[in-house]
Structure 1
Amino acid sequence: MLVTRRLLHLIATPRGLASNTGRISSVLLEALHDRYDDLEVQALDLFSADLPAVAGTNIKSKYALMTGQALDDEARSSWREIERTIETFLAADLYLVTAPMWNFGVPYALKYYIDAIIQPGYLFEYDEDGQPRGMVHDRRMVCVTSRGGDYSQGPMMQFDFLESYLRAIFGFVGIADITFFNVQPMDVTSELRRSASRAAIRDVRSWVAQGAWDGSPTEVSDLLPADVKPQVIVE
């Protein structure tokens, strides 16, 4: 029986697939479609999406639910928008994040989306000792990012909060199998920009051709020594 691979493409650049980041993601998606006939892609443009509020009524509802309180009809209707956003995320088993570096970190639209979906009881939970445990398992993620400068080496490495944050926050909810393609530098000279783009295109095509998504996803337990209990889940 054919099992459909469901990929959610989170587009976190205001220029969409016409951006430097988006063009590399388009090459990656084309290669994935060529390799996997069963791939279904749902794109979510975070700069144009009508995302639910993470303040006001929904903040009150979040803490009410955490303490076991019932929601009234108005609060339940508003919170349902949060749940629908979470359901769309959980319906996928593969993720592509397209995100440029903004001021060393993630674009605000992506941060807003993350704040909307990562809710206790939905993407993570607390055990009897009060330790958080991720609830999102058997998933894979690939992140295509672009940076104006080169943050891959030297003193600039310390300012790369984009990759470290995405690994931490999605690892926290249980996604351990995360691959990054960081296109850099893109704002220096046209020659360096073209070279970085060519290298990224070569790398993503090679990665897909090698069957990176052919087997089972890497699990958190595969990343930790046998005697370590995976509580806060970070690769």
Structure 2
Amino acid sequence: MSTRLLHIVATPRGLASNTGRISAVLLEGLHDRYDDLDVSTLDLFSADLPAVAGVNIKTKYALMTGQPLDEGARASWSEIERTIEQFLAADVYLLTVPMWNFGIPYALKYYIDAIVQPGYLFRYDETGRPHGLVHGKRMVCVTSRGADYTQQPLLSLDYLNTYLATIFGFVGITDIQFFSAQPMDVSPDSRRAAFRTAIGEVRSWVAGGAWEGSPPPPAEALPPEVKPQVIVEEAPDNGVA
């Protein structure tokens, strides 16, 4: 059985970007090591992602409260579900993410807001405590920064890796590997040095076995959970056959 990897590209320059070039080296190494690797690419800056607004935001709260949906709402929400299903179908995720204004690019935030839905990627128990529903998955994040955020005063301004680890850990993905290239914009020499360092780390990680071994189990045993039940509102019976 093949290993399905979803490459989520969150840079408008794609694999031509500095971050993308590092991811390309990573993918090349993984293909060489794992013959059964099946890679799909989701380019967030060209994808037609569903909006979490308008009909869909109303549908989200209708589902959470068990209200029926009309056909229009159901059809619109199915776009959200297809996006979630694409995400959940993968065994491994590769995120290619440059830092934008201390955090993630807006296209990635838009995507995360679309897929992180209650009843699909997480749920609340009877006490209101959230539980992630995405288990047995792995994630690799290739990130880059213009300056050096490994020390103060910039260290406290780096929300990139922290946010990614937080949001995907929240839904249950705890096996997350980070590769961070920095500084990329200070000078040509610093960019070359940062690129060489990141490439070396990526190649060493792949040569060392990458994600061989079993992924971590969920933190606690939970009963099987299903997505919210969609109740389609029926047309009123006017007595006409």
Q: TM-score range by the shorter chain?
A: over 0.9
Q: Counterpart of 1:56 in structure 2: which amino acid? A: G
Matches of 1:155 and 1:132, distance apart in 2: 34
Q: Is the 8 A contact 1:176 1:219 kept in 2?
A: no
Secondary structure, counterpart of 2:81 in structure 1: helix
How far does residue 156 in structure 1 lie from its aligned partner after superposition?
1.1
Cα shift at 1:128: 1.3
Contact 1:177 1:219 in 2 (8 A): no
Q: 3-state SS of the aligned residue for 2:153?
A: helix
Runs of 5+ in structure 1 lacking a partner? Answer: 222-227, 231-235
Who is 1:182 aligned against? 180
Cα deviation for residue 220 of structure 1 reads 5.1
> What is aligned with 1:38?
36
1:125 has 2:106 as partner = no
In structure 2, C-alpha distance between the alignment counterparts of 1:70 and 1:42, rounded to whole Å: 35
Shift of 1:152: 1.3
Q: Deviations over 1:113-163 (max 9, x none)?
A: 000000000000011111000000000000001100011122211111010
Give deviations 1:173-219, integer Å, cap 9, x for gaps. Answer: 00000010010000001001000000111100100111121101134
SS at match of 1:116: helix
1:152 and 1:27 map into 2 onto residues whose CA distance is 23
Specify the SS of the correspondent of 1:155. coil
Q: How far apart, in 2, do the equivalents of 1:156 and 1:179 lie? A: 22
Give the equivalent residue in structure 2 for 1:233: none
**Matched residues in 2 for 1:33 and 1:113: separation?**
26
Aligned residues: 222
State which structure, 1 or 2, has the greater radius of gyration over its C-alpha atoms: 2
Match of 2:100 among 95, 102, 116: 102
RMSD of aligned alpha carbons: 1.3
Measured in 1, the distance between the counterparts of 2:193 and 2:17 equals 16
Q: 1:92 aligns with which of 90, 103, 118?
A: 90
CA contact (8 A) 1:124 1:173 kept: yes
CA distance in 1, matches of 2:99, 2:128: 34
| Equivalent runs, 1:215-230 vs 2, <5 Å | 215-219=213-217, 221=219
Answering whether residue 26 of structure 2 is matched by residue 9 of structure 1, we say: no
Amino acid at match of 1:116: A
1:76-132 deviations in whole A, cap 9, x for unaligned?
000000000000000001000001000000000000000000000000001111100
In the alignment, what sits opposite 2:51? 53
Separation in 1, partners of 2:178, 2:206: 13
Task: Indicate if the aligned counterparts of 2:4 and 2:92 stay in contact, CA closer than 8 A.
Answer: yes
* Structure 2 residue ranges without an equivalent (≥5): 223-241
Matching residue of 1:225: none
CA deviation after TM superposition for structure 1 residue 72, in Å: 0.4
TM-score (norm 1): 0.92
Using the TM superposition, name which of 149-158 and 182-191 deviates more: 149-158
Determine if the alignment matches structure 1 residue 148 to structure 2 residue 143. Answer: no
> Which residue is 1:76 aligned to?
74
2:136–2:218: 8 Å Cα contact kept in structure 1? no
